[in-house]
Structure 1
Amino acid sequence: MPFKLFDYQQRLVDETRQKLAEGNHGVLIVSPPGSGKSVIIAEIARLTVAKGGQVMFFVHRQELVNQITQSFQKQDVDLMHCTIMTVGKVANRLDHLPKPNLIICDESQHSRAKTYLKIFKYYSDVPRLGFSGSPWRMNGAGFDDIYSAMVKGPTVKWLIEHKKLSPYKYYSVTLFNDEKLKKSSTGDYTNQSVSDSAKPTLYGDIVKTWMDKAFGQRTIVYAHDTQHSKQIAAEFRKAGISAKHCDSKTPSDERKRIMSDFRKGKITVLCNFGLVDEGYDVKECTCCVIARPTESLVFDIQATMRCMRYLPNKMATIIDHAANYTRFGLPDTPRQWSLEGRPKKKRSNNTTSTPIKTCPHCWAVIPAQCHVCPQCGKEIQVETEQMDVDATKQLEKVGEFKLTTDYTTVKLGKMKPENAQNMSELYQIAKARGYKPGWAYMQGKRLGLLNKK
């Protein structure tokens, strides 16, 4: 019995088919990680095969091929009319594979790679669909020569609010010195510079922070190279935590066993390099530890959201040891995706960021306007910094307002919580200071005023 798609998933299927019907040769479907793209892909494949068509699906990793095969089977897709392979295998068998009526490519942020373009060129007369949670290339290249139309799914914020993704807590305890980071020809940081920038206490601090913020949670750790990943796993084991390392060069049988044990909960912490940042789906994973700085928006989105697959009452924990949030924002930061490329000289990560900062008490990443941490409830002292001044700028008048002073508000703003007689006064103090009501509640709880109106 096929899955019944959620309304937003059915909308994506319908809009994609409409774009093809309008004559678009290539359509890129963009929807956040964890929004169920595999179900959408399987439904489109089922509809195509049901009409007598042949479907070709490819992606860059065998684990993802296995996952989509299972999705096709659950959706009652006739696999006799499907070619499901890694992109490399398809590229090497073009002369021997049945010609498809529809090509479907997952993780399509990679579709500018030579092997993908080779397939597209060979089947130049076949309509193609691309799926991606982050259609972005570090070199700024676009996708408008591969896909002529884009269909967009819901935002991360919408998916969290409608219980399709789990909410999250985001902590940042920086363990790297950004001044020592150097970029490679790919645009991301070199492994050597990442190693050089790591603080001496890196490994112990990663485990210590995890023990404090996410002890016992099923966790994926993202390292910057294989040796780094192995050392982190060893440090977790020293602390008595079941941990394993895995990467693309781990023997196939061993890799399958490690992945299976992690899904079953036999392994608590899975440390990896370049393996489970895309497509890997384990709903029981509730924590991700980012132990590498990056300039890749794709990696940042894919890695941080790996623990946000929805389960009832689940709260995901993201620990960012490289302050990548200062480069890319948070998982639910709005993104502006486009098929067109970005100017090379202009750094853009497709975000429209809300200002954020780190709580100095619990290291939670929170909105910059917060005077009280919504995670730990502690007051955050406002710091004043010397402003940079551009002497060449001229003052431009864009409007006018009149200032009136409310001396009652000034008095309340200076009033200490301890001088409040009841909760009403605490809420007035909070309002005068620009604090949220949660601050007044926490102060009232601390002072024993919750039942005093």
Structure 2
Amino acid sequence: MLLRPRQKLFVERSVAALRSHGNTIGVAPTGAGKTIMLSGVVGEILKERDTKACVLAHRDELTAQNRAKFARVNPGLSTSVVDAGEKSWQGRATFAMAPTLARESNLDQLPALDLLVIDEAHHAAADGYRRIIDRVQTRNPKALIYGVTATPNRGDRKGLRPVFSNVADQIRIGELIASGHLVPPRTFVIDVGVQSDLGRVRKTAEDFDMAEVAKVMNRTPVTEAVIRHWREKAGDRQTVVFCADVAHATAVANAFREADVPTVLVTGEMTEASRKAALADFAETRARVIVNVAVLTEGWDHPPTSCVVLLRPSSWRSTMVQMVGRGLRTVNPQEHPGVVKTDCVVLDFGTSTLLHGSLEQDVDLDGREATGEAPTRTCPSCDAIIPLSSRDCPLCGHAFTCDDASDAPQPLGDFVMSEIDLLKRSSFKWCDLFGDDAALVATGFSAWAGVFFLNGRWYAVGGRQGQPTTLVGTGERMVCLASADDWLNEHESDETAHKTRRWLSQPPTDKQLALLPMEYAQDFGLTRYQASALIAFQFNKAAIRRLVFGADRDALARAA
């Protein structure tokens, strides 16, 4: 399996920071491939003989997911598990449930580790995690401590500075939008007559006082205005709504239902069975709207969700980013046939966007190549070394101000450089098959991928030896290019990518020419790689047409 170029850079910076400081944290939002990068870091450290690592997660499903993806990135490294059902340290990398390992009897069995990795590292300041960290460092004072998270200053609001002295790298949402791995948000800040009242709501130690927010927001005229704007701007999009408290959420959910919009409610007060039933109704599209109170902010994803409604402010930028992030994932057409998603509508009826700046401000379109060590600065509040691009210190939450206009973030606009960058940085060469820019194909040793244009929409298709051809992306060109490139990354390796790149300077083989139409034999500029791309297309043309035309019909049917 290959890492994306940006993922490789994240790994390089993380390993360099670990070597330099003995600890570090990396910040990567939804869609960045956090587990893949985490696995890359562990693999680099475990290249040294007789080294051992432990990867901590706080949920069973995360432990299983991390172990499975680790095996794909590092197929030669053995793994083991410490959880409620099994307690084995036999593997070079052990995947442990933090609540299980934190028990004293299990800590007694802890071997000397060379690397402790904390997934969802915003939990690292909690008591159970600190017990584990302290025991690891007691067993081996030179043990490296590495954390990865999307939201470093969340959770119990304790700072992470006692655990991490620096931030190795921070992938920004704008990078993933520009590269086609997330869809762009279209943000509307809407004042329904409450912004001045919200501006007077007091802050608590953790956030705005949600009881006061609810008094402002939980009024029938406000809710009616919200639904009116939602109908106008969201249409038939699946939507997640964030409310201030349970009474507010209940009232909003009832109002949507009374407006004949299928709606479900999710709160922390519900039983687990009721919550699962509501989530299933939304996932299976029996409900168009899901209303919640601080339940779906983190750890929940339903990629077809393409509208986010904020009916509460947030004093933390990271909380706002997490809420909006629920709607930014791209859609896998294998999992959601016929769903085409090109953007996410964000309706902010609170003051979060005004307070923190819209997500569009996270996009950098200056075209600079990110290489080598991350430029850094020192946080004036906690002295942590953090990436220069950080607007908030990931370790203590200190907010920076832009005194220099040249440092001001760019607004979201045309991604002029992004496609060039993706094609240039890809491990594979993308061939324009017919010179009309409507069909691009890239190949490896055992897999190929292509993007094709039909009726105003792009489609990504992937294939591999012995497996049926697969639709892997639909929608905008950049999203499809990213999906197709990821398909090749998933099924090829650094070695095969390097070998196929060499084909660019080699002429086609006689066997290749025999498989191609006669006119290609007269093309003296044809390379072995281009011939491979053309053969992949010729051999799979029928399957490509079936998938692309079928997806196009499904999309038109859904639109009707």
* TM-score of the aligned structures, taking structure 2 as reference length: 0.54
Following TM superposition, by how much is the alpha carbon of 1:319 offset from its aligned partner in structure 2, in angstroms?
Answer: 0.8
Following TM superposition, by how much is the alpha carbon of 1:332 offset from its aligned partner in structure 2, in angstroms?
Answer: 3.6
Question: Structure 2 stretches of 5 or more lacking a match?
Answer: 73-78, 82-90, 332-339, 364-374, 383-395, 413-560
Change (3 A) 1:68 1:163: farther
Identity rate, percent: 18
Work out the CA distance in 1 between the residues paired with 2:184 and 2:250. 30
| 1:46-195 → structure 2 map (5 Å cutoff) | 53-59=52-58, 62=59, 65-67=60-62, 69-76=64-71, 78-80=79-81, 81=91, 82-85=94-97, 87-92=98-103, 94-95=106-107, 98-99=110-111, 101-124=114-137, 125=140, 126-136=143-153, 143-175=160-192, 176=194, 177-184=197-204, 186-195=205-214
RMSD: 3.6
Match of 1:13 in 2: 11
Change (3 A) 1:271 1:67: farther
SS in structure 1 at match of 2:232? helix
Following TM superposition, by how much is the alpha carbon of 1:260 offset from its aligned partner in structure 2, in angstroms?
Answer: 3.8
Q: Mean alpha-carbon deviation: is it higher for 280-289 or for 309-318?
A: 309-318
User: What amino acid does structure 2 have at the position aligned with 1:301?
Assistant: V
Change (3 A) 1:340 1:349: closer
Q: Is contact 1:354–1:367 with CA below 8 Å preserved after alignment?
A: no
1:325 corresponds to which of 327, 339, 353: 353
Match of 2:536 in 1: none
Following TM superposition, by how much is the alpha carbon of 1:318 offset from its aligned partner in structure 2, in angstroms?
Answer: 0.7
Match of 1:35 in 2: 32
SS in structure 1 at match of 2:361? coil
**1:349 maps onto 2:399 in alignment:** yes
Following TM superposition, by how much is the alpha carbon of 1:276 offset from its aligned partner in structure 2, in angstroms?
Answer: 1.8
SS in structure 1 at match of 2:71? coil
SS in structure 1 at match of 2:313? coil
Following TM superposition, by how much is the alpha carbon of 1:28 offset from its aligned partner in structure 2, in angstroms?
Answer: 0.5
| 1:188-207 → structure 2 map (5 Å cutoff) | 188-198=207-217, 200=219, 201-207=221-227
Following TM superposition, by how much is the alpha carbon of 1:10 offset from its aligned partner in structure 2, in angstroms?
Answer: 2.0
Change (3 A) 1:142 1:71: closer
Change (3 A) 1:139 1:57: closer
Q: Mean alpha-carbon deviation: is it higher for 279-288 or for 197-206?
A: 197-206
Following TM superposition, by how much is the alpha carbon of 1:219 offset from its aligned partner in structure 2, in angstroms?
Answer: 1.6
Following TM superposition, by how much is the alpha carbon of 1:30 offset from its aligned partner in structure 2, in angstroms?
Answer: 1.5
2:319 corresponds to which of 280, 287, 299: 299
Match of 1:224 in 2: 244
Q: Is contact 1:142–1:341 with CA below 8 Å preserved after alignment?
A: no
Alignment deviations for residues 360-387 of structure 1 (CA, whole Å, 9 cap, x no partner): xxxxxx979xxxxxxxxxxxxxxxxxxx
* TM-score of the aligned structures, taking structure 1 as reference length: 0.66
User: What amino acid does structure 2 have at the position aligned with 1:36?
Assistant: G
SS in structure 1 at match of 2:291? strand
Alignment deviations for residues 64-119 of structure 1 (CA, whole Å, 9 cap, x no partner): x524533532443645443343x444434553664454322233334333343333
Q: Mean alpha-carbon deviation: is it higher for 333-342 or for 239-248?
A: 333-342
Following TM superposition, by how much is the alpha carbon of 1:23 offset from its aligned partner in structure 2, in angstroms?
Answer: 4.7
SS in structure 2 at match of 1:76? helix
Q: Is contact 2:24–2:146 with CA below 8 Å preserved after alignment?
A: yes
Q: Is contact 2:240–2:290 with CA below 8 Å preserved after alignment?
A: yes
Q: Is contact 1:293–1:324 with CA below 8 Å preserved after alignment?
A: yes
Q: Is contact 1:8–1:153 with CA below 8 Å preserved after alignment?
A: no
Following TM superposition, by how much is the alpha carbon of 1:293 offset from its aligned partner in structure 2, in angstroms?
Answer: 1.4
Following TM superposition, by how much is the alpha carbon of 1:218 offset from its aligned partner in structure 2, in angstroms?
Answer: 1.8
Aligned residues: 347
User: What amino acid does structure 2 have at the position aligned with 1:133?
Assistant: A
Following TM superposition, by how much is the alpha carbon of 1:123 offset from its aligned partner in structure 2, in angstroms?
Answer: 2.3
Work out the CA distance in 2 between the residues paired with 1:232 and 1:115. 37
Question: Structure 1 stretches of 5 or more lacking a match?
Answer: 356-365, 369-453
User: What amino acid does structure 2 have at the position aligned with 1:231?
Assistant: A
